[in-house]
Amino acid sequence: MKHLTNPIRPILFLVLAFMMMLSTQASAAETVMMCELDDGDKLYYKHIKPLIGEPTVVQKIDGKWGPWRVSCPNSYKADELSVYDSGTKMQSYSQENFSPAVPELDIKKGDPVRFHMTTVLDFEFGSYTYERKAYISLVQSLGDFTLQISEFGLDTASSCEIIK
């Protein structure tokens, strides 16, 4: 009878090793990053990579973790979020009315200006980049076309601290 119970020990060992591997994977699936911007604001992001399913990113707002959204007033298109194994990219879109007139470009005061913002978080190297581009759609004798307005553009980058 003793020779029948001997093979059970290696099987139990393998099951225990597999369970330890799963618990290690689950605890290593979250990375928290704190980014300090030029204006002194601190932003907290968490990259969650579950054992099964797609990775997600959440942001800490008022002490609570919630979905990462960019609050753009006058959005003309829904945010686009792409989450990767070690980072994420958010594309946001908003529209405002142009306040100064630019007669040489035939831009009138109140013409709509569209902003395209791209935010990239890298949880592997601890970085935050933000880029904003401004566009105005013009109708000229040649038809519709879009003009990029460089004075409303903005690029910023920040290194971040990976907390865990």
Q: Is 143 left (phi over 0), alpha (psi -120 to 50) or beta?
A: left
Which residue from 63, 71, 65, 70 is spatially nearest to 45, judged by alpha carbons?
Answer: 65
pLDDT digits (tens, 9 = 90+) for 117-156: 999 999 999 999 999 888 776 544 445 556 676 666 788 8
Alpha-carbon distance 160 to 33, whole Å?
A: 6
Note the pTM of the prediction, 2 decimals: 0.70
